[in-house]
Structure 1
């Protein structure tokens, strides 16, 4: 049996602002924006080339055995790209405040690209949810 990660809830305060940020700023595709029950709105967005989506929820009660996360409390979600510099240019060109490209060096974080798997940038959504973008070898994208 396969266990696939398909949807990650991202807690936000303003659904329309978050939708605009992820669609227009980050370039995610809007798959769904619907009021599925009275007072319950779901917006699902998917990064280009990904099977895993994010979902923005309003009015949805937590599933049994879970709890809601406060807006801005989600950190460490990671996207992978094959060209980190092009990804940064795309993000900043769309108005996203993305960090410079950095790599992990002998004494901590250093500016610029590193070796394979060692080039990163970060950004936050308007609520402060934090994202990491990592450059992955291009041959992995072809799988």
Structure 2
């Protein structure tokens, strides 16, 4: 049996602000923006090429806005990802890698090239470069 991760709920304080950030700055596609009833709104967004989406909304999670850390995207070209995020106005770290658990500016070995950013509420994202398929 396949077990597929389809949606991760990301707690935010302002749904419209989060939707705008993820759509216009992070480049996610808005799959739907649904108001189920008073107090329940679900906005689902998907990163380009991903089979997993995020949901922001009201009445969908009981967690503090900005409390999710360690969300991770994987890209083929970390420099291109950095440039795209920066061009869209995202405050993104320089390309970094880990040495003994500490982030260091510059490129590392295979699987050890990242950029980091936060959404307006402080939910933390890492973008990791995946090596080209052999």
Could you tell me how far apart the structure 2 residues matched to 1:31 and 1:107 are?
36
Distance in 1 between the 2:65 and 2:101 partners?
33
Note the aligned Cα RMSD (angstroms): 1.5
Q: Deviations over 1:62-121 (max 9, x none)?
A: 5xxxxx210011000000001001001000000000001111235832211111101011
Identify the residue that residue 93 of structure 2 maps to in structure 1: 99
Max radius of gyration: which structure?
1
Q: What does residue range 76-95 of structure 1 map to in structure 2 within 5 Å? A: 76-95=70-89
Instruction: Report runs of 4+ in structure 1 exceeding 6 Å deviation.
Output: none
With normalisation by structure 1, the TM-score equals: 0.88
In 2, Cα distance between equivalents of 1:122 and 1:130? 7
Q: TM-score, normalised by structure 2?
A: 0.94
Q: Deviations over 1:20-71 (max 9, x none)?
A: 00000000000000102233110000000000000012124x5xxxxx2100
Gaps of 5+ in 2: none
